[in-house]
Structure 1
Amino acid sequence: MIVADSPDPGGARLLAADAGGRIRHLPRQALGLLFRPDDLVIANDAATLPASLQGRHEASGAPVEIRLAAWLSPDDPLRFVAVAFGGGDHRIRTEDRPLPPPLVTGDRLTLGPLTAVVEGLLDHPRLLALRFEGDCEGLFAGLARHGLPIQYAHVPETLALWDVWTVIAAEPFAFEAPSAGFALDWRTIDTWRTLGVRFATLTHAAGISSTGDPLLDRRFPLDERYRIPAATAAAVARTQDTGGRIIAVGTSVVRALEAAAVGIGHISAGPGVARGRIGPDTPLRIVDAIVTGVHQPGESHFELLRAFADDVLLHRLSLMAEAWNYRTHEFGDSMLIER
């Protein structure tokens, strides 16, 4: 059943599909009223790092842009997986960006006040293992002074760091904004509290969404670190015990919760690494519904949605989002899909 209520033309919108397949067009502020007492909403509180670094390849003098994509090791904050481009910036579509100069192990990159050493190529000329010289304090100071948020050509204006922080942003931990969280505001969170809907957070290192190279994009998402507070793990168990639902705000939250699952309705607290893709053949043990952006078929985010709904329903959602001109990308409209 499709309920084609007229979306609010003056603000962000929500395309909501319930477990019975009913689809509704709603203003996004309706999120505050769609959940039941004892439901638990979990969001990613990671602040976004200034993970785009312009600089030069020391051996050739050629310009490079390095986009940090993931930590290479949970135990070493100075080592990263990174995506490299040649000259240019975000105003050029990623698919049109030139390759970086030829890189080999041991090459040094000068990135403003920072120096990074290429530890190796990861089976693709754009994908690198990098190690920054110095210490962790110097790295974060250098990122703050020189780095910019990763962004794409659909937003030509240069974004400030606070433009990619959600209202609940805490520790800098994500490489791109956990953008589903842009649907949250304090009024919605307060409405949930008043109605008895629980709210909790976790921290997940959301990674790069696109490189413009289809072969490379198929590798995403990369392995991504997360941390789950003990209070959040306890809230999940309590919600399952009382018959409530677990609603994840964003694909990063789904990845963290399902990676931390130790049984139906239970997760382990603490740090971990979310590995591999979630897709149509992935049995979800924790999450009952997802609030997410409007994604395109073929994207890794869209593949994750196939764990929540069959292809027929997702196709209907895609057609309706296109017909109603729902905005895609990180600052776009939202979807709610119940499993």
Structure 2
Amino acid sequence: MSNDHLLSSYDYHLPGDLIAQNPMIPRDRSRLLVIDSPKTHIHSVFWELPKLLLPGDLLVFNNTRVIPARLYGKKSTGAPVEILLLEEKEPLCWLGLVKPGKRFKIGSEIYFKLDNNDDDQNNFLVATVVDRDEETGGRLLKFKTDSVDLFWEKIEKIGQIPFPPYVTESEANPSQYQTIYAEKPGAVAAPTAGLHFTEELLEKLQQKGINQAYVTLHVGLGTFRPVDIENIKEHKMHQEWIEVPEITIDKIKKTKANGGRVIAVGTTVVRSLEGTAKATEMEGKQGLKPFRGKTDIFIYPGYSWRVIDGLITNFHLPKSSLLMLVSALIGRERLLDLYQNAIQEKYRFYSFGDAMLILL
């Protein structure tokens, strides 16, 4: 079996002090490792992105918005519990990871207090455990409220934006874990490559003739779930909901027809675009069509690229599916060499860290 298909081949050691705990201020002052040839790379900063791209290029962003998905509540007995909402299965019914699991038996009711100063029964959002999810070990929770709009109103009151588990000493506020173009709520983690953009940078890109388009992928378990099997080809990705609208498809086609490059801002955009291409092919259709639905696409070395010509991405965890995706773009050995160089140069890693620009 090729080393590219072995989980152990995607390991590397990262000193703990290089895990970024806080974002850069301003956002576009992050460092940028630029790979624009088969063998060389340069060190830059993110605000210089307009100089690195060409008029006619297309940047595709993920406009998902992180929801306050971490909830703290109590059972009727008063026992404290914690829930991380993962995915809306149907209106007012959510899959969530739960702590401690033994307290979440089917039929259990969980109470979330809306206002600390009021113990009236109307001051609680109530969820009932309706099923267990064998794949994740989580629970399906049915929330009792009059409407979806009222549900979101209450979640905004009681929920917290969930920072990644390796961000343990952060002074960041929740707005710093949202992209400036976040629009459609549904993600439980930010599409972090987009965190580097400011309004001023987007304006400079537009002034140079670098176009912009949007997709939606609600970042969930599929993005950050670890790969835990040595033969990575046997790994099954959790499905995530995506939407690639017609206006974005039209911009992609126009860009390619005019000789421009389609550059994904983040691995979630890669999965959205390449997942859409896969869905189009599976329907027996030609070209790229708008798509709205689920994708479980898993990209690793050997993948045949269909849509993207470049990628902006942060630095990813060892043995992660995201590291495999980027390896499919420039090669595993080269990527790990670049990571070692970034470590030597003291780049900041992971969600609040620095970025890479890869141009094919």
State the TM-score, normalized to the length of structure 2: 0.78
CA distance in 2, matches of 1:298, 1:286: 25
Relative to structure 1, the CA distance from residue 101 to residue 313 in structure 2 (aligned partners, 3 Å threshold; closer, same or farther) is same
Q: Which residue of 1 aligns with 2:296?
A: 275
CA distance in 2, matches of 1:190, 1:322: 32
The 5 A counterparts of 1:91-170 are 100-112=101-113, 113-123=124-134, 126-134=137-145, 135-151=147-163, 152=165, 154-157=167-170, 160-170=173-183
Task: From 54, 78, 87, give the equivalent of 1:70.
Answer: 87
Normalized per residue, the structure richer in helix is 2
CA distance in 2, matches of 1:109, 1:219: 34
2:184 counterpart of 1:205:
no
Amino acid of the structure 2 residue aligned with 1:108: E
Amino acid of the structure 1 residue aligned with 2:264: A
CA distance in 2, matches of 1:43, 1:125: 28
**1:120-155 C-alpha deviation (Å, 9 max, x unpaired):** 222267422322222312210111110010113524
SS of the equivalent of 2:330 reads: coil
RMSD (Å), alpha carbons: 2.8
Q: Which residue of 2 aligns with 1:298?
A: 319
Amino acid of the structure 2 residue aligned with 1:140: W
C-alpha displacement of 1:66: 0.8
2:91 counterpart of 1:80:
no
Q: Which residue of 2 aligns with 1:57?
A: 75
Relative to structure 1, the CA distance from residue 221 to residue 128 in structure 2 (aligned partners, 3 Å threshold; closer, same or farther) is farther
Q: Which residue of 2 aligns with 1:321?
A: 342
Q: Which residue of 1 aligns with 2:6?
A: none
CA distance in 2, matches of 1:214, 1:150: 23
2:190 counterpart of 1:177:
yes
Amino acid of the structure 2 residue aligned with 1:138: L
Structure 2 contact 317–350 (Cα < 8 Å) conserved: no
CA distance in 1, matches of 2:300, 2:128: 35
State the TM-score, normalized to the length of structure 1: 0.83
Relative to structure 1, the CA distance from residue 234 to residue 125 in structure 2 (aligned partners, 3 Å threshold; closer, same or farther) is closer
SS of the equivalent of 1:42 reads: strand
Q: Which residue of 2 aligns with 1:334?
A: 355
Relative to structure 1, the CA distance from residue 41 to residue 125 in structure 2 (aligned partners, 3 Å threshold; closer, same or farther) is closer
Amino acid of the structure 2 residue aligned with 1:31: L
Q: Which residue of 1 aligns with 2:13?
A: none
CA distance in 2, matches of 1:171, 1:44: 9
Higher relative contact order (CA 8 A, sep 6+): 2
2:245 counterpart of 1:244:
no
Relative to structure 1, the CA distance from residue 29 to residue 120 in structure 2 (aligned partners, 3 Å threshold; closer, same or farther) is same
Q: Which residue of 2 aligns with 1:12?
A: 30
CA distance in 2, matches of 1:187, 1:23: 26
CA distance in 2, matches of 1:206, 1:244: 28
**1:276-321 C-alpha deviation (Å, 9 max, x unpaired):** 4222243221111111111122112212212212111111111012
Q: Which runs of 5+ in 2 are unaligned?
A: 1-23, 114-123
Amino acid of the structure 2 residue aligned with 1:226: I
CA distance in 2, matches of 1:226, 1:137: 21
SS of the equivalent of 2:328 reads: coil
C-alpha displacement of 1:50: 0.7
C-alpha displacement of 1:270: 4.6
Task: From 308, 314, 319, give the equivalent of 1:287.
Answer: 308
Relative to structure 1, the CA distance from residue 272 to residue 184 in structure 2 (aligned partners, 3 Å threshold; closer, same or farther) is same
2:35 counterpart of 1:21:
no
Task: From 247, 253, 258, give the equivalent of 2:269.
Answer: 253
CA distance in 2, matches of 1:33, 1:47: 29
Amino acid of the structure 1 residue aligned with 2:85: L
CA distance in 1, matches of 2:286, 2:300: 20
Identity of aligned residues (%): 27
Structure 1 contact 236–265 (Cα < 8 Å) conserved: no
Q: Which residue of 2 aligns with 1:231?
A: 247
